[in-house]
Amino acid sequence: MSHRPVHANNLPKPVGPYSPGMGFERLIFVSGQAAMDAATGKLAGDDIERQTEQCLKNVRAILEAAGSSLQHVLRCGVFLVDMREFQRMNAVYARMFGDHRPARTTVQVAGLPGDGLVVEIDAVAYIPSSD
């Protein structure tokens, strides 16, 4: 059994020596995604709502490239620069996931690797069976 990197053309390039996603059997591990818009190469916005939405769009793009979706996410990690943004982040997160509620940990961090970043989100998902 081997692992396989997951890349998607509609994603910002990684800022370091890592893959956006890594698959192993039917599991997909998505690296922390920032709010960079691949189409513009710029930050999606300076507010928590726009950044949360862009992070999850990037997570979704990686999952779709691997044959999965947000509805197959098992766990997310949310990294906030300011925990006072928790409720506003949650509103966007709930909208993006709909009725699906993956396990999640949310922590406050001292900073993120990029000017203006206020949130980063990673995920673990599975690829649904074809039978």
Type and span of the H or E element at 52: helix 48-65
pTM of the complete model: 0.96
CATH 3.40.50.2300 fits 3-126, yes or no: no
* Closest-CA residue to 61 (of 30, 83, 17): 30
Residues 103-126 pLDDT 10s: 999 999 999 999 999 999 999 999
The alpha carbon of 85 is separated from its chain's Cα centroid by a whole number of angstroms, namely 17
Domain ranges of the chain: 3-126
Residues 38-86 pLDDT 10s: 889 899 999 999 999 999 999 999 999 999 999 999 999 999 999 999 9
Whether residue 94 has pLDDT greater than 90 = yes
Whether residue 12 has pLDDT greater than 80 = no
Mean pLDDT, rounded, for 11-27: 90
Whether residue 1 has pLDDT greater than 70 = no
